[in-house]
Amino acid sequence: SRYYREVLPGEIVKISRYDVQTLDVVPRPEGDPSAFCIFEYVYFARPDSIFEGQMVYSVRKRCGEQLAVEAPVEADLVSTVPESATPAALGYAQKCGLPYVEVLCKNRYVGRTFIQPNMRLRQLGVAKKFGVLSDNFKGKRVVIIDDSIVRGNTISPIIKLLRESGAKEVHIRVASPPIRFPCYMGINIPTKEELIANRPEFHDLANYIGADSVVYLSVEGLVSSVQESIKARQANEDSLKSQKSRVGKIGHCIACLTGEYPVELEW
């Protein structure tokens, strides 16, 4: 019978035509907590992926719920830019007691925007990438949930599109904290200067992108959304006096958000 699970940090696995064997699990020095990339949960992973015993979709939904607690707003409906932030938008809407309504639909016949050679073409590409479901939001106050705002280019033409199509207000809520620092662990994050969180425009971001308001999820809110069910499961295992060896303290790499790297940089 086939089964799939995560390879544990430090685990050496032998895969042969007959079976899959764990040869060894190398322990972490001084029992340091693991440093699993928190942005896998926010952005990179497929929603049906399972990391650390939890489904990415569920974590994203919790981030949306936490965002609703931290940054509620007077509005008529909650939506998203299809479709990576949908779980967070559903979590936000349910927690706020607002309807989740689609305001944009994807145009399947447009290529990828990020490979366009210049900014103007990228922004045009973004606007062409979506159809507007204007009947759903005309004259209404809209909250758009995004999973992350990295450079700030992509969201501006979308807000403009919604306003031109009759949205009364457009509030942006971001289901992750601002990225401020480079990643030295293999994730391709733009340079510090390109990150909107490090630019002077960030101090008046709502005005810069044309929104009525913009609020990001706090670092603490993200960490608690990610770790909540891991802690509950560990507590449950402890109460069952599980004989299995504990994997170790819970830890996640949040260096791109805080600048505190899990290993010392050697330059």
pLDDT tens digit string along 209-221? 999 999 999 999 9
Residue 77 or 250, more confident: 77
Domain count, the chain: 1
Q: How confident is the model at residue 238 (pLDDT cuts 50, 70, 90)?
A: confident
Residue 95: name the closest of 124, 116, 56, 66 by CA.
66
Q: Average pLDDT, whole number, for the chain?
A: 89
What value does the mean pLDDT take over residues 156-176?
96
Q: How confident is the model at residue 137, as a pLDDT?
A: 98
What value does the mean pLDDT take over residues 106-135?
70
Task: Report the sign of the C-alpha dihedral through residues 79, 84, 90, 93, in that order.
Answer: negative
Strands 130-132, 104-106: pairing is antiparallel
Q: How confident is the model at residue 245 (pLDDT cuts 50, 70, 90)?
A: very low
Q: Assign residue 126 the CATH number of its domain.
A: 3.40.50.2020
Q: What's the domain range around 68?
A: 1-266
Asked whether residue 242 carries a pLDDT value surpassing 70, the answer given is no
Distance in angstroms (rounded) separating the CA atoms of residues 148 and 119: 19
Q: How confident is the model at residue 3, as a pLDDT?
A: 66
pLDDT tens digit string along 45-67? 999 999 999 999 999 999 999 99
What value does the mean pLDDT take over residues 146-166?
94
Asked whether residue 81 carries a pLDDT value surpassing 90, the answer given is yes
Asked whether residue 259 carries a pLDDT value surpassing 90, the answer given is yes
Asked whether residue 118 carries a pLDDT value surpassing 70, the answer given is no
Report the predicted TM-score, pTM, of the whole model to 2 decimal places: 0.88
Q: Please tell me the least confidently modeled range out of 37-51, 188-202, 214-228, 245-259.
A: 245-259
What value does the mean pLDDT take over residues 217-244?
85
Q: How confident is the model at residue 31, as a pLDDT?
A: 72
Q: How confident is the model at residue 267, as a pLDDT?
A: 66
Q: Please tell me the least confidently modeled range out of 1-5, 79-83, 153-157, 230-234.
A: 1-5
Q: Roughly what angle, to the nearest 10 degrees, separates helices 119-128 and 155-164?
A: 50
The proportion of the chain whose per-residue pLDDT surpasses 70, expressed as a percent, equals 88
Asked whether residue 114 carries a pLDDT value surpassing 80, the answer given is no
Q: How confident is the model at residue 116, as a pLDDT?
A: 52
Q: From start to end of the chain, where are the E strands?
A: 11-15, 20-25, 36-37, 50-51, 54-55, 77-80, 104-106, 130-132, 141-146, 169-174, 213-216, 252-253
What value does the mean pLDDT take over residues 32-56?
93
